[in-house]
Structure formats: structure tokens, C-alpha cells
Structure 1
Amino acid sequence: MGLLDNVKKNLGFGGKGADEGSEATSVDRTAVNQAAQDAAAVEVSASERAAAETAAAQAARQQEAADAAAAQEAANEGLDPEAPEVRPQAEEAAIEAAAGSGQPGPVAPRVTEVVVEQGDTMSGIAAQYGVDLGALIATNADTVPNPDRIYPGQVLRLP
């Protein structure tokens, strides 16, 4: 008994008349084709997920190496490794390490808050961070009653 016969039997199409049998075979083939397509999609999805996990692990290793290099350089210069001025050095080290390995650089963490500086405007901040001005205003409506008046030191949330 073949695969199609098993499927027919399980679907209740076995032992029917000639006309019904050909209809059942068509339904069986459709079901088998759909099952094969579903199995192929699952395989593709699993391989894409594995590739994404591998890339994420590699990016994490690159970032750890960059952080370690920046911490070492900061220690050599007598700086606190957690000091704000050390962070750009870590990012630069990660980019250099990625360039040497032929891999893309680390993905920058997503900025979620911005401290307003002298001369900043809501539209300028929206443009700088690539967010919609209306969404920026709406996100900060509870803390910024007038979007035309923001002050240095204010913290704005990015949408």
C-alpha cells in the first residue's frame, strides 16, 4: 500500500466508485502537495532562524571583544572603563575588528531616550533619529505640553 493509498484510507476515500475515486485522488494529491510545501517552508524557516542566531552570536562576540579592548585601553590610560568617553572607543574597536574579519560591524543599540541640548528642536530630533515628528510629539505629550518649547536637560522618549 502506497502513501496515497494510506492518505485515501485515512481520509475515508478508499473503496468508492470510479468517479468518486478520481475525485478522491485529486483531493489526496492536493493534500500531499500541500503537506510537501508546508514541510519545505518549515525547513526554510528553521534554516533562516539558525542563520539569524549564528549572526547574532557572532555580533555578540564582536561586541564583547570590542568592549574588552576598550576597557583595556581605558585602563592603560587610567580611565574608568564605564566612563562615557570610553564607549566611542569600544564602538570604533568593534568596527575595526569587523573590518579585519570581513564581517559586518556590530548593530548599534536602539536609542530610546534623548536628552535635549541647547538649540535642539522636536523636528530636529525627529530627523536626527529617523522618527516621525507626530509620533515623537505624541509619545512625549504627557511631559511636553508645548512641542515648540523644549528645554536643555529635558528627556524625550523616542517612539
Structure 2
Amino acid sequence: MHPFRQPGSRGHAVARAIALLVLVVAALIGEPGHADPGDFQAMTGLWKIVTRVMEHGHLGAPRERWHCVDEGPDPWAEFAALPVPGHTQCERSSQHRSSTALSWTASCAGLAAPGARGRVDFDSPEHYTASVSVAGRQVVQVEGRRYAACTSPKD
């Protein structure tokens, strides 16, 4: 401590005010709920994706699709491309991300507001579950599991 300054002096008050200002500015600049795509924890490779669409109040037959996921500019785009039954033109918005989950809303032509809501949750880098809901009812259920590395661009 400087020999002429007392603990409650103006210098301490200014230092505290600057520290508080830095914290407030950092909080305002950051985007809560939006993780850096580089923090994404899913593994690239060959994924088996099983989709079940709700039909007449019951889950329909599982539809399998194999898909090679690579490292693109937005790795979530590969996993969040989920169908909204009966609507081919939908646009995702209001995305909230973490390193293991993504939720969003989607506006679809012909679908009343608030539209559809989707969610993808990874319980490990090689497995996820996902769903899409419309008007509070689940209309799509998805499960994805990574099986292998991709061996060619046509996988």
C-alpha cells in the first residue's frame, strides 16, 4: 500500500468502478446461449439417423438414413436439419446453443405463429436425440449415432 493512501481512498473507488465497468461491458458484448462452433462436442463421421414422425397421435415407423457429417462452418447445421411434417419451407431462428445442445424456433409457410420448436441434445460426442414440436405437441423424434469415420466424399 502507498504510504499516503488510506484503504477507503478515491483511488480504490476508481479502481472498483473501472473493474465493474469492464465486467458490465464484457457481459453486454458476449452472447449468452451462443457457444462458439469450435466448442461443439459432436464427432464427425458416418452417422445413422433414425427419424420417427407422429402420425394420428402415434409415432410412425422408423426411417433410417446414413449421413456423413464433416466439419463445416456451422457444425450444428448438419444435426439441426430436422423436418417439420407437412411444411417444406421453414426457416430456423431464435437459436440457443451450448457445446452439447441446440434449441430453436422455426417459421414455416402456412404454419401459425409461434411455428415449430426444435431441440438437439448430445449425451456423448457419438449419440444424440432430437425432436420437433408444433403447438406444444411433439411431431418428430430423432436419434443419431456415429458408427465410423467417413471413407470417401460419397459416404
Query: Smaller-chain TM-score range?
Result: under 0.3
Q: Going by fraction, where is helix more abundant, 1 or 2?
A: 1
Answer with 1 or 2: which has the greater Rg: 1
Higher RCO (CA-CA < 8 Å; seq separation 6+) = 2
Return the TM-score normalized by structure 1.
0.25
Q: Going by fraction, where is strand more abundant, 1 or 2?
A: 2
